[in-house]
Amino acid sequence: MATALLASPGPPLGFDAVRERVRALSRLFKYEFTFRADAPFEQIFEEEVLAMEADGELARSGAMLQVHGDGAREQIELYAHLLENFVEGYRVAARGLAALLRGPLTTKDFVRRAMTAGERMFLAGEIGRREAVSSPMLENAYASFIDQGYVSRQTGGKLALTASYATAGAVATIEARIAANPARTAVFAAEGPDVWRTESGREAGEILRVVRDASGGVVRMHWATYAFTRDPRVFGGPDA
């Protein structure tokens, strides 16, 4: 619910739009979570909205849903943060689909290439959670992508893009859909020259430090001890 509500353009959003976003996310992450099966989705969604309204987290105005004040927004962002690892992991899986543009691959080879792409995404700062680069999660993601119609399993077990998604543009669209779900932002406060502390959001309480060369140009940043550079580097390498 929170992830759907905070995704661009953010609240307030139409009740029906939020419901369909939640439905899409529940289908995408069907191999990650166990969902209730004792009632139709529409009933479960309505019950959850009513519960969040009763807790002072959501407010309904006609056909629109919105967060009920700043304090409630912090709680909603916390809920969305709990799903962030899965959103980033499935984004890595979507980036890995580009390998299938050159032809079918076994699941093992497919996951290995996606892991490499995920490491590059982490080092480049495109994703913030290293644990999102996980073989079990990638395997679940590709099972979900088969259900979504993005990928098919061919005779012999190899994975291939379906005809509707067998172009670079279509693969990019899959990743864009997943990436549209919110990542937790961070707010910084200056503590000195080229030093900031994370006040809220990801890595709250951690230091962000800028490293400059002799001319004063920024060469890298260290946030919570992780190095961020303009170009990908080997994790743990001499320049990290």
Q: 186 pLDDT band (50/70/90 cuts)?
A: low
pLDDT digits (tens, 9 = 90+) for 203-233: 678 888 999 999 988 888 888 777 777 665 5
Looking at the predicted structure, is the pLDDT value of residue 239 above 70?
Answer: no
To the nearest whole percent, how much of the chain has pLDDT over 90? 49
> pLDDT grade, residue 185 (50/70/90)?
low
CA pair distance 227, 45, nearest whole angstrom: 41
- Residue with the larger pLDDT of the pair 76 and 10: 76
**What pLDDT, on the 0 to 100 scale, is given for residue 182?**
67
Q: Note the pLDDT of residue 227.
A: 79
Domains of the chain, residue spans? 2-82, 85-179, 186-228
The pLDDT of residue 238 is above 80: no
pLDDT above 90: residue 115: yes
Q: What is the pLDDT of residue 89?
A: 95
What mean pLDDT is reported for the chain?
A: 87
For residue range 61-82, list pLDDT tens digits in order: 888 888 887 778 888 888 888 8
Q: Does residue 145 contact residue 173 with C-beta atoms inside 8 Å?
A: no
**pTM, full prediction:** 0.74
pLDDT, position 233: 55
Which CATH number is associated with domain 85-179?
Answer: 1.10.10
What confidence tens digit (pLDDT) does each residue in 35-64 have?
888 999 999 999 999 999 999 999 888 888
pLDDT at 234: 52
Q: What's the confidence (pLDDT) of residue 199? A: 75
- The pLDDT value given to residue 236: 52
